[in-house]
Amino acid sequence: MESQLPATSKPSNEEETSPKTPETYRKIISTLPREDGWKAHGDLCLYQNFWCYSYFIEGAMLAQDHYNAQPTDIFLCSFPKSGTTWLKALTFSVVTRTHFDNSTTPLLFKGPHNCLPLLEIDFCRKGMKPEPGSLPLVASHLPYASLPKSINDSGFQEPMSLEEAFELFCKGVSDFGPYWDHVLGFWKASLERPEKILFLKYEDMMRETLLYVKRMAEFMGYPFSLEEENKGKIRSIVEFCSFENLSNLEINKTGKYAPDIPVENKSFFRKGKVGDWKNYFTREMAEHLDEITKQKLGRFDLSFDDV
């Protein structure tokens, strides 16, 4: 999670000269290295050293050239399937708590992903622009180095087997991967600018949710008052945004992300359990992934709980 960020160095590969129109974006995308991806959205393309689907890359290019971040913007940046849905619900509830309660919140009839715009799709691919007075929350799966400079300055086919998906993930060829590089970009930036970037771990948030929601609210500039704490406002938000509650809301059981994007809201809710990977990975898979993680992250003093 981050507020307006400091400038980063410019991209070092073939996208240094940035295009300005969708047509020129698509021409560049057509020349990028490609690999088979996890899903049927087409091939993954290597853009600025990360693997993305072409429609996300086009949105990223549009954002890099045309998106103007405001000093009050709050960006929720995450690797896909790392707790994004939960984080969106929590931050939305914190920021809008003076406007809605648990009986009137838009989360009752809109999924968390529809309550916060996704930078590389909503603002760029759909042409949406923030309006005066709109919420300062914006989500993105883009890696740190691919965020717009203005932020830094201020129907599916059958899924592939777990073994195939695991092999691609380990190679770094997954949505917005390599995962380790994605995480490291924000980790390093959070060490350099802790007042601008709050680095969160899913396991920590699951273990001490109340503490981290309070910390997130303070970081975003929406701290809870002592009266709110005494009245149980933090706990109320945490309980409403729990996996059990959100996954059982009708909008998240039957709704869809968008008319032109055939993704059902229920696909954003799996189990929400820390350590559930043990029910799917073999011992060899776990050891292999642990070895890669230690190799990639160990020297940067970044580790994750062994659960």
Rounded CA-CA distance 170/51 in Å is 13
Active-site entry in 113, 141, 182, 288 = 141
Rounded CA-CA distance 153/68 in Å is 10
Rounded CA-CA distance 212/101 in Å is 20
Cβ pair 125, 55 in contact under 8 A = yes
Catalytic residue status for 113: no
| 53-58, Cβ contacts within 8 angstroms, sequence gap of 24 or more | 53/175, 54/26, 54/29, 55/121, 55/125, 56/120, 56/121, 56/141, 56/176, 57/25, 57/29, 57/32, 58/22, 58/25, 58/26, 58/29, 58/124, 58/125
**Residues assigned a catalytic role:** 141
